[in-house]
Structure 1
Amino acid sequence: MAAGDSYCLVLLHNGQLYRVQPRLQAELLFVRLEAPPRSNSGTKRSIFGIPKAPSSPIIEHIACGSHINVAISSENSVYSIPSCLHQFSERQFRVKQLQCGFEHAVLLNVNGDVFTWGNGLRGQLGQAVLRVEETPQLVEALAGIKITQIAAGGWHSAAISAFGDLYTWGLNCSGQLGMRVMKPGGLLKEPTVYPLPQLQDLPECGCPQESRGSDDCAPLRAFAGSRHTLMIRQCGRLWATGWCKHGQLGKRLQNLSYLDSFKALEGIVVNPSSDNVLCGPWSTLIFLRKLEN
């Protein structure tokens, strides 16, 4: 499932896509997607020469934002539901992860390449020029770096590489990129928009496992809300940055409006290999099997 402002998308095991309105006793409605452009092989016909009706695309990935709803088919067709806006021609192209912010989408393939499209006027696409991209564009600044995981916030994005590096880009109005918003003791603000991916110089983890080697505490996964970002390290410790007026960065930090950089959520250790952290626009959910003292 993927939830947006207007409806929820429901993807079945057979690749069929449905939507449901946010109201009581709502019914599942089948989503009819536009057929992708025909290939050079021509129209498929039956053994009697009768043209076959185009089959419904088999959907494998879905994601929703406030103003963007995206689906990817098994044939690598990219849909801005219900319209087909792009077709990846490479047969070996395989999608690993798909994320949506408020107005942009981020796609990661199995080769470690990152593609973005949508509204990029706040730098959330990772491109040098701030503009709207109608079709997926390769993030050239990350070309040659194998990315293993991505996250899309409201107007910012994040990526983690196979080398254990964290990159963030986009809007930094509340410190959601992990960089200082305001210099200590002054009112001079740093840039609020970083259009190109920024390599983060993360603080030392400080957990007992760190003595085993630097890889034990390397960034593993990232999660993003409207104006906050969370990161899990290999050791299972959670780190956070950004806006926490609504307590989205933890109870101990709820009185701060923003953080200057990534700070540890003390006492919280999760299984780094499980899907146990979720970021909503203004909230965070952390699933724990038991509380640690």
Structure 2
Amino acid sequence: MSPRKPKNEESKRLVLLGGDRKRPIGAVWLVGAGPGDPELLTIKALKALQAAEVVVHDGLVSDEILALAPSGARLICVAKRKSRHSYAQEEINRMLVAFAQEGLNVVRLKGGDPFIFGRGGEELEACREAGVECHVVPGVTAALAASANAGAPLTHRGSAQAVTFVTGHAAAGSEPDLDWESLAKANQTVVIYMGVSTAAGISGRLIAAGRGGSTPALIVENASRADERRIVTTLAGLPQAASDVAGPALLIVGEAMALAQSSDIEIVSQVEARGRERGVKL
């Protein structure tokens, strides 16, 4: 199926539909689209998407998934990429409520899972405050796809008794307020979302808190998609490895990442990284 192009070029700001005010109030569905591979959509997510009259979607949602929406549905892209936002979050909240109040079935389609760094909680609160019915459909978060494709489990007996999801990007570009000493403890996996641009700071903080620089690490760009890229490195090597990453990516740090398989594009081996730490040229 050829992806249908979203009809969103004209939707730069909220435009209310002039529908029949006598229509019953609609509903909002916060739907997790998963990491990009349409085969990773849940059945419930697919059903919600196919019943949508308006789809308000992130820039991370793939064209293959958008093509599953009804041909008559209005598609509106509200992509957020670093500092380039087509809509502020408050505008998105008002948009969802306004369309539902017009009697429409609205799907807020979000990459990954709506409640894993997706600001779905804010949208849920806005709907509740406005008296709009809101449903949540979970999705496969990117960390699960990244881990599975790389063959590196997020938890593993003997090397990863816990897994923690954190964000590498705080409000206004500031450093995230994290418990670095807790994250630096051995035998756990730390998954950093939106951490490519702050990889140097994250690496430095974890090492300063006691995590070994030779701890295995993995960067996964465009997880589950045809252009997925995996870079195997170490905690100390994260800044250099992340410097060449342009697309959406995850940083994963932990002993279990020693099992990770790189893509064919690039690999920074642990042996080389340990050698650099000791000043040994390999």
Return the TM-score normalized by structure 2.
0.29
Return the structure number with greater helix share: 2
**Larger % of strand: which?**
1
Larger RCO (CA under 8 A, 6+ residues apart): 2
- TM-score, normalised via structure 1 length: 0.29
